[in-house]
Each structure stands twice: as C-alpha cells, then as structure tokens.
Amino acid sequence: MLKYFLYAAVPAVLALATFVWLIVALVRQCKSWRIAVGVFGVEILLLAIGYFVYFTPVEYPRTYLDEPAPETGSLAEIAREKSFYIGAAVNMADNPAYRKLVPSEYNSITPENYTKWRQLLANEAIGNYDFSKADAIVDYAVENGVRVRGHTLIWGKFSGRTYPKELDNLIAEAADPPAELRRIMQEHIQTVMTHFKGRITVWDVVNEPLSMDGVYLDENIFLNTLGRSYIAESFRMAREADPSAQLFINEQFGNYAGELVELFFDLLEWLLEENVPIDGVGIQAHNIFKTHNLDEFRQFVQRVADLGLLVEVTEFDARIRLFGEEPDPYQAQGDYMAEYARICIENPACIGFTVWGLSDASTWFDWVTPVNRMLPNDPLLFNVNLRPKPAYTKIRESLRNRP
C-alpha cells in the first residue's frame, strides 16, 4: 500500500497540483511557468516509472502441477468428516466453475452479491424483492447438500451500494426517523430470512460496523439514526425472523491488534452483556496491499473463542503480487494461505474458511481500481483452469489434523 502511494498516487496528485500551478502562471504571465514545466516533467517521469512498476502485468513462474485435484479426499470430503466448512463466494448460478467445484471441493458457499439488500430488489425499490438470482445460487447448493452463508442483511458503508439509496430519502423525510428505520430494517430482515429459511442457515447480520478511517464505528445511516443499538437491534430482529439461523457480525481488519481491534472487542462485550443473540464473528481477510501478522491473527481468533463465540474466515483472498519478491511467488502465496487457514482450522471455535471467489477467474480484484490494473491478482485456491494451487494440499492436511 505504502509503495503504491509513493510511486503512483503521490506523484499523480503532485503532478495535478503542478499542472494547476502551470496554468495559473501562464494565465497571469508569471515567469514561474518555466519552473512549473520542469517540476511537471520530473513528476510525469516518476509517474511513468510508478505506472510501469505497478501497472505492467507480470508473469510469475508456475512451478506447481497444473493437474486436477485427487479423486478422493477432496477438501469438502475431509471438511465434512471434521464438521468444518470450506467455502467459496459465488456470483452467478450459471458459472461453470460452480458446478465443477461445488459440491466436490466446497461444502459451503456464500452468494457474493445476490443476497445483499440492494441486489435483492427489483429496480432498487425498497420492498420490491426479486429473489430469482439468489434462489438459483442457493437452490443448487442446497440440492447438493452444501451449506449457504447469507451475506449480508445490514451494511451501512456506502449509500446506494451497500443499501438502497432510497433509504436515505425515506429516513430524511420521515416524521420519526428512528421508528421508520426500525420498521424498514425489520421488514427487510423478516422478508429475506423468511424467504431463505431452512436454506440459508447462517447470516452475516451486520457487515463492517467499524470505520475505515479512524478508531470509531462507521458513521452510516444506521448509526446516525439509532446509535450503536442498531447493531443489537439487527441481531434481535434476525433471531426473531429465523430462530434456527446462526447469526454473525462480519468485519475486515487491516491489523488484528491495535485500537480498532479493541473497539471491536468492546462492541462484542457490550453485545454479550446486553444478551444480544449473536453466535459468531466473521473475519473477512482480504489481503489487498499487505499480508497480515499471523501471530496476531491467532490471538484474535482465540480472543473471540474465549468470549464463547464462533469464528469463521468469511472472505479470504491474497493477491499474488504481495508475494512477487519471493523466489517462488505461487508457492509463497500457498504457504501464507495455508498457514492462515490452519490457524482457523486448528481452533475448535473456528468452523469455516471461505475464499472470496471460486477460482482465480472470478475475483473482485480484477475489476476494482487500482488492483484491476496491477495484474495478475490470482488470489484464490484454484487457478483459472480450476486446478488446485499450492495451498490445496496443505489445507487438506490441516483439515485431517483438525481436533
């Protein structure tokens, strides 16, 4: 991340500022335009180098065998024996990889997008549900004895993306905003959980309650209208809607220690003190610009377990370019991924490890800026040919050793 800012983002901002300086100098006919041209030239050169370093696709040697997975002892098979879930996010029911790898390799799936509030609505109109895309994904899994994680009921981070934009207007215009928000949340949670009752057995009830910018809770429409009790209320509504479903809070952490983590544990402790019906913590684990400290991760998992809560790694991926300086990047990526998974698999409180995509052919990194330009991403467990990558064998071994 730091390198990206140093080489690409910082020169880009400086070049833009210098360009403005140049234009102003020219308009005012100041002599400083010559200096501006010189500075601008140097910045453009730096930018070109940055772009060359970061945005030129590279190819790393694939020393691992590009062969099909062994016929027996697949990940899903061993996971089932050990009451563990190896999962993947699935975006489209008709993705051929879905039929190829589920149920053979994955015994759990998460609809990547189609059980989100906005994507469940026809024309993004609140209350106007169209479950067809989600049903197609969910039904295939259920017919094949695969567990489905529901993702996600309440997610406040970005208006119009993580929840329907219409909600902002409805709440702004409501005579009693808290009451109106509670009514809409309750209706949403009730409708969706009832629709999937018996098919989706675990839900990310609240997603990303922490801020990305500082040590505080994300200041979204739910927090601003109801205070932190929006989290507690969401869980209560969810338990009432489907008492048999497991209920998770799902979060992404840049670090597994530090002030933000303490804030998260304060939140968990408060929820437990208030007897809020929460069953577990989902850890997203997107490794975008850096890998995580695995000792801190191990302690984090144990700390959640000590509170009597379950844990799942819900959205793992690790870009191959994070391992680009290693002698064998794909092997190093596999070692990291397997080690991360092992920490979860070894802890009895951790019941699932889900990767955020079926294979390297379908990863959100390939369309999101800037990493869609920093190719390859290849962050997952199977390559684009749906062949197992180096983490595969090691994860099987960890599963076999699960207590």
Q: Binding residues for ligand G3I, per CB under 6 A?
A: 91, 112-113, 116, 161, 207, 252, 284, 315, 364, 367
In the complex, the smallest distance separating the C-beta of residue 30 from ligand G3I, rounded to whole angstroms, is: 42
Nearest of 329, 346, 347, 249 to residue 291 by alpha carbon: 329
User: In this complex, which beta carbon is closest to ligand G3I, that of residue 113 or of residue 246?
Assistant: 113
Q: How far is the CB of 226 from ligand G3I (least distance, A)?
A: 21
Give 281's strand partners: 249, 311
Determine the Cα–Cα distance for residues 295 and 118; give it in Å rounded to an integer: 37
- What tokens appear for 337 in the block? 């991924």
Nearer Cβ to ligand G3I (113/377): 113
**HSE of 43, CA atoms in CB hemisphere, 13 A:** 17
Helix 259-273 to helix 294-306 angle (10° resolution) is 10
Q: What is the dihedral of CA 374, 379, 383, 384, to 10 degrees?
A: -50
351 in helix, strand or coil?
Answer: strand
Q: Which is nearer to ligand G3I, 43 or 204 (CB)?
A: 204
- 152 or 398: CB nearest ligand G3I: 152
Least spacing, CB of residue 152 vs ligand G3I, in Å: 6
Please name the residue that has the structure tokens 């959205």: 315
Task: Give the CB-nearest residue to ligand G3I.
Answer: 364
Q: How far is the CB of 124 from ligand G3I (least distance, A)?
A: 12
Distance of CA 138 to the CA centre of its chain: 19
Least separation in angstroms between CB 351 and ligand G3I: 19
Beta carbons of 379 and 363 less than 8 angstroms apart: yes
Cβ closer to ligand G3I: 225 or 363? 363
For the CB of residue 88, give the shortest distance to ligand G3I in the complex, in Å.
Answer: 12
Q: Are 399 and 79 in contact (CB under 8 A)?
A: yes
Q: Which is nearer to ligand G3I, 33 or 155 (CB)?
A: 155
